[in-house]
Structure 1
Amino acid sequence: MATLRDEKPMATLMIQGTTSDAGKSTLVTGLGRILKRRGVAVAPFKPQNMALNSAVTADGGEIGRAQALQAIACGVPATTDMNPVLLKPTTDQGAQIIIHGKAITNMQAQAYHDYKRTAFAAVIASFDRLTAAYECVLVEGAGSPAEINLRQNDIANMGFAEAVDCPVILVADIDRGGVFAHLVGTLELLSETEQRRVVGFVINRFRGDIALLQSGLDWLEQRTGKPVLGVLPYLPEFYLDAEDGVGLEQASTDASGNKAVLNVVIPMLPRISNHTDFDPLRLHPNVNLQFIRPGGKIPPADVIILPGSKSVIADLTWLRDQGWEHEIFRHLRYGGKVIGICGGYQMLGQTIADPHGIEGPTQKADGLAILDIATTLEPEKQLKQCEGTLQLTDEPPVQVKGYEIHAGITTLPTAGKRPVKITSTQRAQHPEDIAESEDGLISKDNQVFGTYLHGIFDQPDALQAILNWCGLQPETRVDINTLREQSIDRLADSMEQHLDMGKILQMLGMSKSCLRPLPSSRAKKPSPKGWG
C-alpha cells in the first residue's frame, strides 16, 4: 500500500469525552470504518478500560468489548495491544488487573493508583507495537479528562495524550442536556498545554432542528477558539455492543404489534459480566427480554437466564437474598426453562469452591444444586475462542461459535447430555491445543441447560435451536453479526455526512487526494440544510 503521509510520523488521533457514555467508543468505531473504506490500515487503542464486558482476542488474551467491536469496524483482528490495561471490578473499591490480556492480580483502588506508573509502561509498549503495524491509530479515552482526583499519574486521558503528543477531539452527548457547560467546563479544568491539545469538538446524539442550535455552536467556537467538527444526529433503533452498562429498555413486540411470545428474565447481578451475550435475544421480535433490577419484582417467565459474573459466590449470595432461588425452583415446578451462562452455569451446580481466595474471603459455597456439577476456582483463567456444534434436541446439530472467559474448573458426572461439541479452540495458555472437547450440561428433565460458552446466541442457527428448545418456533431469524455490520456502516455513513472529515484528515496528516476513493454506494450525500 502506498504511503498516505509522505513519510511523516505515524497518524494518531485521540477521542476524549466530557462524561462516560458521551460517545467516545462510537466515534472511534465510526472513524475506524470510514478510514478502512478509504484504504487506511487503521487500528483502535484504549490505554485503560474499566468494564465487565470483555472479549477473547486473536492472540489469546482478554480486552474490553468496545475495542473488539472497533477492531471489527477497522477490519482487523482484535489483539491485546488494543487494550493493554483492563480493570474488571470485583467490589466497589477493588478490581482484577489485566495487563496485555492476562490477569495478574487483584488490587484496591488506592493500590492501583500507585501502580499506574508500572501499568503505563505496558500502555506505551502496546502503543509502540500498533504504531509500527498500522498507518493510523484511533485512541479512545476513559470517562472524562477533567476528573481532578484522577489526574495524577493519569494513563487513560490527557496523561497519555501528552506522553505521545497526539491531538484530541472532545465529544459530548447533547441528549443528556447541558452540552455547552460540559464542553466549556471540561476545557477549563485542563492545563494550558492540555487545552491547546484539544483540536475541536463533536456534539453527539442531537435531535430536532439544527437551526435552533446554531447560535450555541457559534458562541462555543467564539468562547473557546476551537471548531465544532460536527453535530451527529441521534440514530433511532441503532445497535452496537455496549461497552459496559446494561440497557434496561428491553421489552420487544413482534411485527404485528402483539406482545412477544417468549418471556425471558435475567437478574441484573451486582457484578454481571458480558451481558452483551443476550443482545440477540433482546433484539429478537418474538422475545420479551427483561433485566430485573435489585429489589425488583420477578415477573412470570418462560425462561430464566443466569448470566456471567465476575464474583460468582458473592453474586450467588445476592441472588438468594433477592429471593431468586425460591422463584427459580417455583419456575421449574411449573415447567419453565433455565439457562446458565459461565458464572450462571457454575451457580446451577452443587458447590463452588475458591480455595485460593480469587474472588474474596468466602472459600466455598453451596450452589443451587440443579445440575450435578462442581466448580473450583483456579488462579489460571481459561481464555479460549471456540467453534463447534450445539445439539439440544433430537434435531441435527448446528454450528456454534463463541469464547470462554472463566477461572472455574468444572467437574461433571459420567452420565448426562453434553450439548456443545468443541471442534476448534484457540487458547491463551496453549495455542497449539486444538483437541476436541465437550461443554455444558442438560438436566435429566430437559428443563435446565448450562454452558461456559459466551456468544452462544450470536449464530442464527444456534439462536434458533435454543429458542426451539425453550418452546418457541419463530419464523424470524436474527443474525447479530449482520446487524452489527449494518449498524457500523450506518454510523459511518452518518458521520461522513455530519462531520468535517476534511479537517479530521488534516489532523491525521492525511489529505483527501492520497486516500482511496469511496465506493460509489458510499459516496457522501449532500448534507441537509443547516447541518454542514
Structure 2
Amino acid sequence: MTHPAPAVLVAGTGSDAGKTTLVAALCRLLVDRGIDVAPFKAQNMALNSAVASDGGEIGRAQALQAAAARIPATTAMNPILLKPSGDRTSHVVVDGRPLQETDAVAYGPLTTRLWPHVRRALADLRTRHELVVCEGAGGVAEPNLRDRDLVNMGLAADADLPVVVVGDIERGGVFASLYGSWALQPDEDRQRIRGFVINRFRGDASLLDPAIEDLTARTGVPVLGVVPWVDGLGLDAEDSLGLRDLDGGPPVGEEGLRIAVLRLQRISNFTDIDALGREPGVTVTFTESAAAVADADLVVIPGTRATVADLDRLRQLGLDRALRDRATAGGPILGICGGYQMLGRAITDTVEGGGGTVAGLGLLPVETTFHVDKVVRRVSGDAPALGTDASGYEIRHGRTTVDAEAKVLVRDDDGRPGGVVAGPVMGTSWHGLADHDDTRRALLRWVAEQRGRRFVPGSVPAAAHREADLDRIAAVVADHVDVDRMLSLAGWRAVPSAGR
C-alpha cells in the first residue's frame, strides 16, 4: 500500500501575516533541495485569481506557489475559491468552476458538500508529490467558524496535519497573537500546533529571546524562526490587503511615467499592474482622486468582481467626469476586464449584480452582457495596435460585443478581438497583458509618446523579476527558519523517488 506524502499546514494569527510568502519560500527552497513539493490551500477568499494549467480558476497565490515549486499550477492546489461580490456575499468556485453565489450564513451548511472536494484534492497532491505544504486562511483561532472550517484546524484535524503558526511582528502584539492563537484552541486542536514563526522583524532578533522563551514555556511550542523584514519584494499579492504603490526606480532616460490605478471597492486581479511598476522610472499609485486622474500619464481602470456597483461608485466620486475630461484632452486610459466593460456604451448584468442594463462611460465602441457561465482560459495572439505579440488570460462572465469598425488592441490566435482602441482610450478583457515584455514596453512607449515624454524600458523580463524575488525570500527563510525541524514535524523522510 502506498502511503500519502507527508504534509504540513502553515497557518497565521490573522490575514496578511505572511503565510502565502512563507509557503512560496518553502516551496522554492525545498524544490531546490531536490524535493518534489506542491502547495495547497483548501479554501481561499481572494479576488486575485489565475487560470490553472488544467483550465480551472484558482487563487493567484497558489499559482505563485506552484511557480515557486517549479511545477504547473492545477485546480487541486486550491479546490475552493471564494470571490467576494458584496459585503456579505461571495461567488463560490469549486474545482476551478463556478458553483453558486452564497452569503456567510448559507455558506456554513454548504461546507458539508465541499469537504469531499477538499479531501480529494489534497489526496491527489499527496499521491503525485513527495511533500505538500498547505496554507491556512485568515486567523487560525476563530471559534465561531470552527464547525465549518475547511482550511485551518478543521483541515489539520481531518488530514492529521502538524500546524505551524505565523505571526506578523510588524503589526505589533505578535506574542499575544501567537499565544492567543494557541490558547483559544480546544485541546485536541491545540496539540496539533507544533511550531511558531515570527515574520517581518526589523532589528536585532536577540532582543526577542526573553519573550520567545516565555512563549515556549507557556505553550510548549517552539519558535522555529524569526524572519526579517525583506524590502522590495514584488510577489503577487493574494488580496487587497496587499495593495501597495509601486516604484520602478530611477528612469533610464530623462523622464519617468506616472500611472494612476483606480482603487475600486471590489478590485480584482490588480496583479495586472505589477509588471508596469517594475519598469525603471514608472511609479504606480492606487487612488480615488479626480486630481490624480487628471495629472497621471496613464490611468488604469482595473478588474472588479462588481462591475456595475464599482461603476456607480466612480460616478458618486465624480471620476466618470474626470475620465471623460481626460479622454477629451487626449490623456491615455487603459481598462482591464471590468474596467474595459465600464468604458463601453452599456453593461447588461443579470448575473453578477443583477442590475439590468446600465450606461457605461461611452469611451469605447463596445457593449457587454453578462452570462451565467464563465469564460476561463489562457490566451495568446497579437496586439496589432501596439505591433507586438501578446498573451494573457481571461476570467469573466461578461461577453463584450465590439463594433465592426473598431480598432483592435489585441486578438487571439483565432482572430477574435480581446480589446479595442479609440483615440487615447484602450480596453481589454485580457488579464496579464503587461506580463508580456514586448507588449508592456510597447504600451508604455505609446503612453510616453502621447504625453510628450521620453521612456526607456528596462531590460529585465517580468518573469525574471519574480524568479529573483522567489530565490531571495527562499534564501532568507532558509537562513532564519529551522526548515529541517519543520520537515521533521511533517514526518518527512528523505526517501529517493522512483525516478532518481
Coarse TM-score class (shorter-chain normalised): over 0.9
Deviation for aligned residue 1:312: 0.9
Contact 2:19 2:136 in 1 (8 A): yes
What amino acid is the match of 1:500?
D
Counterpart for residue 509 of structure 1: 491
Q: 2:376 aligns with which of 350, 372, 383?
A: 383
Deviation for aligned residue 1:252: 2.9
Counterpart for residue 428 of structure 2: 451
Contact 1:255 1:285 in 2 (8 A): yes
**1:416 has 2:406 as partner:** yes
Contact 1:49 1:86 in 2 (8 A): yes
Deviation for aligned residue 1:8: 5.6
CA distances 1:491-518 after superposition (whole Å, capped 9, x unpaired): 1111111111221221232356969xxx
Residues matched between the structures, number: 493
d(CA) in 1 for partners of 2:116 and 2:217?
39
Counterpart for residue 234 of structure 1: 229
Contact 1:68 1:78 in 2 (8 A): yes
Matches within 5 A, 1:87-486: 87-245=82-240, 247=242, 249-250=244-245, 252=247, 254-255=249-250, 261-293=256-288, 298=293, 300-354=295-349, 357-393=350-386, 397-423=387-413, 435-443=414-422, 445=423, 447-471=424-448, 472-486=454-468
Greater Cα shift, 302-311 or 92-101: 302-311
Secondary structure class of the residue paired with 1:22 = coil
TM-score, reference length from structure 2: 0.94
Contact 1:388 1:421 in 2 (8 A): yes
Alpha-carbon spacing, 1:365–1:258, altered in 2? closer, same or farther (3 Å): same
Q: 1:69 aligns with which of 58, 61, 64?
A: 64
d(CA) in 2 for partners of 1:341 and 1:380?
20
Greater Cα shift, 237-246 or 167-176: 237-246
Unpaired stretches in structure 2, ≥5 consecutive residues: 449-453
Counterpart for residue 530 of structure 1: none
What fraction of aligned residue pairs are identical, expressed as a percent?
40
Secondary structure class of the residue paired with 1:388 = strand
Deviation for aligned residue 1:265: 1.1
TM-score, reference length from structure 1: 0.89
What amino acid is the match of 2:121?
S
Q: 1:498 aligns with which of 466, 480, 483?
A: 480
What amino acid is the match of 1:494?
V
Counterpart for residue 520 of structure 1: none
Deviation for aligned residue 1:27: 1.2
Secondary structure class of the residue paired with 2:311 = helix
Contact 1:246 1:275 in 2 (8 A): no
d(CA) in 2 for partners of 1:438 and 1:182?
51
Judging by fraction of residues, say which structure has more helix.
Answer: 2
Contact 1:253 1:259 in 2 (8 A): no
Alpha-carbon spacing, 1:42–1:436, altered in 2? closer, same or farther (3 Å): farther
Secondary structure class of the residue paired with 1:418 = strand
Unpaired stretches in structure 1, ≥5 consecutive residues: 1-5, 424-434, 516-532
**1:48 has 2:43 as partner:** yes
Alpha-carbon spacing, 1:251–1:492, altered in 2? closer, same or farther (3 Å): closer
What amino acid is the match of 2:202?
R
What amino acid is the match of 2:97?
K
What amino acid is the match of 2:416?
S
Alpha-carbon spacing, 1:249–1:84, altered in 2? closer, same or farther (3 Å): closer
d(CA) in 1 for partners of 2:13 and 2:417?
46
d(CA) in 2 for partners of 1:452 and 1:385?
12
Secondary structure class of the residue paired with 1:106 = strand
d(CA) in 2 for partners of 1:52 and 1:95?
10
